[in-house]
Amino acid sequence: MTDQELWQRAVLQLRKEFDSLPAAMRLELAGAARRIRELKTGIHQIAADSGAAAICAECGGECCLCGKFHVTVIDLLIYLISDREIFTPRFDRGLCPYMGDAGCLMAAAYRPFNCITFNCERIEGLWEPASVERFYGLEQELRSSYAQLEQLFANRFMGGLLQNFQRDVLQGDGRFLKLKPAAGSRDKSFPDEQS
């Protein structure tokens, strides 16, 4: 199976599981997604304020040559809960599959954790101490927000969508989101392990 086929199957599976989320879980996800987008926007703004766009254009985006595993289940759940169309990566170019002809296929608020939190020495070297402190504070809060969603869905997602699809869906129990019903309830959309 090609990476493109894995991607398509993984997105279909995630949409199916997302569609069956209980309303309370969607509400919690929506709040977490909003905060994650705010954090990513703040992190991106620190780099933008230091002239990162010109530095990245001059460099040619060497840090963006890889990235196949950067997009996670959490990143796509944020797309889904935000009712945004999921982009189509290109795994056939030898570059990061999430790079289009005009740059990243994702707006800054939707980029993966690894992408939004990476700044090369040229960029970070321009920051004042207050910016460095703010960046790492936001990065830590973003890391915590991802961890909270991993706990909510009882799974580890930082390995990337394609890896999670192979581990959890193809070789595991057939699903990404490992929610269990609250004690005493019988939510059929998330069956017990014995089901």
pTM of the predicted structure, to 2 decimals: 0.87
Of all residues in the chain, what percent carry a pLDDT higher than 90? 69
Which residue pairs from 162-171 have beta carbons closer than 8 angstroms and sit at least 24 positions apart in sequence? 162/3, 162/6, 162/7, 162/10, 162/68, 162/69, 163/69, 164/10, 164/72, 164/73, 165/6, 165/9, 165/10, 165/13, 166/6, 169/9, 169/10, 169/13
* Mean pLDDT computed over 6-20: 96
Q: Which of the two residues, 93 and 107, has the higher pLDDT score?
A: 107
pLDDT at 68 over 70: yes
In angstroms, the CA 144 to CA 137 distance is 11
| pLDDT for res 114 | 92
Q: Which of the two residues, 191 and 106, has the higher pLDDT score?
A: 106
Extended strands (E) in 25-155: 99-100, 103-104
Judged by DSSP in three states, 97 sits in coil
Tell me which DSSP letter residue 91 carries.
T
Please name the residues in contact with 110: beta carbons below 8 A apart, sequence gap of 6 or more.
37, 40, 75, 78, 79, 82, 84
CA–centroid distance for 31 within its chain: 15
**Tokens describing residue 71:** 């997009």
pLDDT at 121 over 90: no
